[in-house]
Amino acid sequence: MAPSSVRVALITGASSGIGLALTQHLLSKPSPTWHVVLADMNPPPASANLPASRTRYIHTNVADWSSQASCFREAFSWHSRLDFAALNAGIDDRDDIFNSMDFSLSQPDGPPKPNMLTFDVDFYAVYYGIKLCAYYFSASPQHIKPTSNGEERGVMVLTASAAGLYPNPAIPQYSASKEALISLTRSLAPRAQEHGIRMNALCPAMVPTNLAPPGLMDVVPDEGVTPMSTILRAYDEMMDPKGGPSGRGRNGGVVEANVQDLDWKENEGWKPKIEKEGKGLWRAREVMGTWNKVYLERNRRWAIGDWDENREKVQRGKL
């Protein structure tokens, strides 16, 4: 059992780029003492000089549920706790719709099936990670009982991207996946908070990592490059129980890390105005509230396996 001063972090895509920098950043902190699990397809470089007593590399294919679940299980067993996770692993596009299309109709069966690996790694794998975080954050011995006083069970940060904030025609798979992570963060954060879990999304701009294709960083002007120090400052704010100086990194925050700036994005939600729809009036917030209520109950009953027999009652608002 780890001493109470030890905290355990799990970082996907931890052997290079942002993941490796975050690993080294956590290890450098004097208090609390972080022990870090590096989940990656490849081991970290020897040049990183990571202390063996405080790090554990686990070969992980995040796109495979069994592989990622095994990684979380092993990470938790290390010190019987998990306190923080950076769901950071990602790849760029692996398919192109128009450039790769043969429009001559010479293929009788139509175009080949697209490569969807980008969605598997950049979205589905992150969703896997969120579910695993929720389980293991709550499974730590000190967190067996439900929270009653705002106790924090765990923090997760999803690596989205500035490409998820601003459409990028060159990498639509990557851009769409990262935008989905932003919406996922905003949608899940209120529910996570009920369980003592905080989650935020980080949207890096142009950071020099292995994700950049050859030649890209050679043509990006220096003043347009986001240093790793800005990224790590964003992590510090999101890991801070108070959410950093502005409090915006407390829960459900989306921050663009661009050059030297951290730009916290507004979540406008549904507009409070009344809008006409034909002959009816739709009050957006009221509709959203009803929508949430019915779906939350449906999801709860799905989870316990009795949705079908209660469908009509839920739809009538009787459950």
Give me the domain span that covers residue 46: 6-264
Q: What's the CA gap between 122 and 93, in Å, rounded? A: 10
Query: Residue 314: what pLDDT?
Result: 47
Per DSSP, the three-state class of 86 is strand
Total structural domains in the chain?
Answer: 2
Cβ contact 211:200 at 8 Å:
no
Query: Residue 271: what pLDDT?
Result: 53
Query: Residue 280: what pLDDT?
Result: 41
| Residue 219 placed within a domain | yes
pLDDT at 286 over 70: no
Q: What single DSSP character describes residue 43? A: P
Q: What's the CA gap between 155 and 239, in Å, rounded? A: 7
Q: Which DSSP string corresponds to 197-257?
A: EEEEEEEE-S--STTSPTTHHHHS-GGGPPPHHHHHHHHHHHHSTT-TTTSTTSSS-EEEE
CA torsion, points 237, 242, 247, 248, in degrees to nearest 10?
Answer: 60
Whether 182 and 69 share a structural domain: yes
Whether 186 and 310 share a structural domain: no
pLDDT tier for residue 146 given thresholds of 50, 70 and 90: very low
Handedness of CA 261, 234, 170, 218 (dihedral sign): positive
Task: Give the CATH number of the domain where residue 136 resides.
Answer: 3.40.50.720
Whether 158 and 245 share a structural domain: yes
The mean per-residue pLDDT over the stretch 26-40 comes to 96
Whether 283 and 203 share a structural domain: no
Whether 189 and 86 share a structural domain: yes
| Residue 269 placed within a domain | no
Whether 35 and 163 share a structural domain: yes
Cα distances from 304 to residues 38, 157, 182, 188, in angstroms, run 34, 29, 28, 20
Q: What's the CA gap between 173 and 209, in Å, rounded? A: 19
pLDDT in tens, 104-133: 777 778 888 899 999 999 999 999 999 999
Whether 281 and 225 share a structural domain: no
Q: Which DSSP string corresponds to 172-193?
A: HHHHHHHHHHHHHHHHHHHHHH
Which residue did the predictor score with more confidence, 273 or 89? 89
| Residue 25 placed within a domain | yes
Q: What single DSSP character describes residue 83? A: -
pLDDT in tens, 200-251: 999 999 998 887 778 777 788 888 899 999 999 999 999 999 999 999 999 9
Whether 169 and 292 share a structural domain: no
Q: Is the pTM of this model over 0.95?
A: no
Whether 304 and 230 share a structural domain: no
| Residue 1 placed within a domain | no
| Boundary of a domain, candidates 221, 244, 264 | 264
Whether 293 and 159 share a structural domain: no
Whether 214 and 301 share a structural domain: no
Whether 161 and 284 share a structural domain: no
Bridge partners, 258 (sequence order): 261
